[in-house]
Amino acid sequence: MNRVAISLGGGIGKMIAFSSLTPALKEKYGEVILINPYPMVFYGNTFAYRNYTHGHEFLFEDHLSDIDVYKVEPYEMNEYRKDKMHLIDVFAKQLKLEKWDKKAQLFINRQEEAEAVSFIQNNLKGNEFVLMQICGGTSLYNPQDTKNKFSFSRDLPISIAQEIVNKIHQKYPGLVIIQAGFQTEPMLKDVINMVNVPIRAFFPLMKYCKTFISIDSFLQHTSSAFNKKGIVCWGGTDPKKLGYEHNINLENPLMQKCKEIHCHRPDTYFFDQEAMRAWSCPFDYECMNFDPDYVMESFDSIIKESVKK
């Protein structure tokens, strides 16, 4: 059996997106060793031979010294930067794959499934629920870095998010809202703040939720594993490059100052600096100032669609 290793970098969402390629990777390369910062994403993945962090003890001596290693980074490729090729497709091109899917491969074990069902029955009293994520871009390993963020081009302002929550409660009083995030991020009121919990706890919750409202972060990538339709609010990043067709991908129609939505700035991979610091938006991230009623129109459509089913 052939064996190769693939070295990856980036956040949890990026790893979830990459997981969609693991069936094609096994078919092409045989035994695949994944070296990545978030191995919990790949737990139980039957298409991966081994799954290690970059700091795994004796990684080179025991596993890499005599096999091919591919280090891939789509963010550095012109196809991603200029041509708006989807992240997963650029990964596939770098790894010379011929056929692949964009469905994340997330494997939920029996205990995780049981814990999710128990949580829904006991804590939510069996009520239907919605997942919500309004902040992103902070490492799971350093949640305190939220205080030092330099870009908010993906975050939904807390005031707007809270108004959306209030409108959902007014119109759908039986729905429970669960916020995903860190304790260091802005906390919504009248929701279950499910923060600083194992990231894998959200995999089965995505499976069972009514729908979700998210920014471009791990939650929207997770939805692809279960084809769960939700709402994703896009600002500085581009749904063509990072989104999924099964979701409602919203762009802010009220932008008046900025003429370059989905600018992907600051481009930290290509030295996007100004005055000895990372580039900052001169329009105060206008792209993420969504009208709550505009978001609610899409939310209502998903609820009506689910009732018909």
How far is residue 39's CA from residue 61's CA, in Å, rounded to a whole number?
Answer: 20
Query: If we measure between CA atoms, which residue out of 156, 10, 157 comes closest to residue 80?
Result: 10
Residue 38 counted as domain residue: yes
Q: Answer for the pair 244, 102: CB distance below 8 angstroms, yes or no.
A: yes
Q: Answer for the pair 168, 179: CB distance below 8 angstroms, yes or no.
A: no
Per the prediction, the chain carries an average pLDDT of 95
pLDDT surpasses 70 at 137:
yes
**Which pair of structure tokens corresponds to residue 168?**
């959902």
Do 60 and 207 lie in one domain? The reply is no
Do 133 and 59 lie in one domain? The reply is no
pLDDT surpasses 90 at 308:
no
> Which alpha helices (H) appear in the chain, and where do they start and end?
12-19, 22-29, 59, 78-81, 87-94, 110-122, 158-171, 202-208, 218-226, 239-242, 292-308
pLDDT of residue 135: 95
Question: What amino acid is encoded at 171 in this protein?
Answer: K
Omega into 74 within 30° of 0, i.e. cis?
no
Backbone angles phi, psi at 132, to 5 degrees: -145, 130
Name the residue range of residue 280's domain: 110-308
Q: 83: how many CB neighbours lie within 10 A of its CB? A: 11
pLDDT, tens digit (0-9, with 9 covering 90-100), for 255-306: 999 988 999 999 989 999 998 888 999 999 999 999 999 999 999 999 998 8
Residue 103 counted as domain residue: no
Do 130 and 29 lie in one domain? The reply is no
pLDDT surpasses 70 at 17:
yes
How far is residue 5's CA from residue 192's CA, in Å, rounded to a whole number?
Answer: 40
Q: What's the CATH code of the domain at 248?
A: 3.40.50.2000
pLDDT of residue 275: 83
pTM of the model: 0.96
Do 142 and 60 lie in one domain? The reply is no
Do 160 and 273 lie in one domain? The reply is yes
**Which pair of structure tokens corresponds to residue 179?**
């916020």
Portion of the chain with pLDDT greater than 70, in percent: 99
Look at the block and give the residue holding tokens 């009506």.
304
Q: Answer for the pair 246, 158: CB distance below 8 angstroms, yes or no.
A: no
pLDDT of residue 150: 75
pLDDT confidence band for 196 (50 / 70 / 90): confident
Do 149 and 283 lie in one domain? The reply is yes
Q: Answer for the pair 205, 223: CB distance below 8 angstroms, yes or no.
A: no
pLDDT confidence band for 1 (50 / 70 / 90): low
Do 256 and 300 lie in one domain? The reply is yes
For strands 176-181 and 192-195, give the pairing.
parallel
> If 0-12 CB within 10 Å is exposed, 13-18 middle and 19+ buried, where does residue 195 land?
middle
Residue 105 counted as domain residue: no
> If 0-12 CB within 10 Å is exposed, 13-18 middle and 19+ buried, where does residue 92 land?
buried
Do 35 and 149 lie in one domain? The reply is no
How far is residue 184's CA from residue 79's CA, in Å, rounded to a whole number?
Answer: 35
Instruction: Give how many domains the chain has, as a whole number.
Output: 2
Residue 104 counted as domain residue: no
Q: Give mean pLDDT, residues 210-234.
A: 98
Do 206 and 128 lie in one domain? The reply is yes
Do 118 and 69 lie in one domain? The reply is no
